[in-house]
Structure 1
Amino acid sequence: MASSAKSAQFLMESRLTGASFESAQACFELGVAYSCGTGGVTIDLIEAHKWFNLAALGGSEEGQALRAEIAEEMTAREIAEAQRQARAWIAASQARAA
């Protein structure tokens, strides 16, 4: 199990680095990881929606499609929280770039 946790940590760290440089593909991959539990990551639809949203904003049509797909399984409050988190990520990214 420790190997699975280590693998999940590596996946998250490598994708977060890409996401911090505004890579739509890295954001999409984080969305997939959180929506499917890839690499031992705990499934979290709010996180998945946030990352798919950021991927969609970066031009990913796949991110847009999967965001809509998982939104069907979420409550309005969960979607609102995911959107809030996406806005916070954008604001933090802009602050780091400044």
Structure 2
Amino acid sequence: MANSLKSAQFLIESRRSNPAFESAEVCFELGVAYSCGTGDLPVDLVEAHKWFNLAALQGSEEAQAMRAEIAEEMTAREIAEAQRQARAMIATAQLRAA
């Protein structure tokens, strides 16, 4: 059990430290981590929605379903904040690529 917890923490830290979202799979993994409170992360539906949104934008149908599922538990304000954060990440990634 301790090894799986350490593995989950390593995965989360390595993904969060990379400012550019690399793939739909990575974004989806972060969405799951935040929606479930994996490792030492608290459950954070705004963060989870943001990462599921980024994965969905890259074509993940599973992320689309998860985003819709957690949106049912969120306020309109929380959803708007998650979308704002996702747009900001996209804009930052585009600036770095230019």
User: Under TM normalisation by the shorter chain, which class is it?
Assistant: 0.7 to 0.9
RMSD across aligned positions (CA): 2.4
Question: Aligned residue for 1:93?
Answer: 93
**Distance change >3 Å, CA 45–CA 94, structure 1 → 2:** same
Question: What does 1:49-60 correspond to in 2, within 5 Å?
Answer: 49-60=49-60
Question: Aligned residue for 2:45?
Answer: 45
TM-score, L = length of structure 1? 0.85
Segments ≥4 residues shifted beyond 2 Å: 5-13, 16-19
Q: 5+ unaligned residues in a row in structure 1: which ranges? A: none
Q: 5+ unaligned residues in a row in structure 2: which ranges? A: none
The number of aligned residues is 96
TM-score, L = length of structure 2? 0.85
Give the Å deviation of 1:42.
1.1
1:23 paired to 2:23: yes
Q: Percent identity?
A: 78
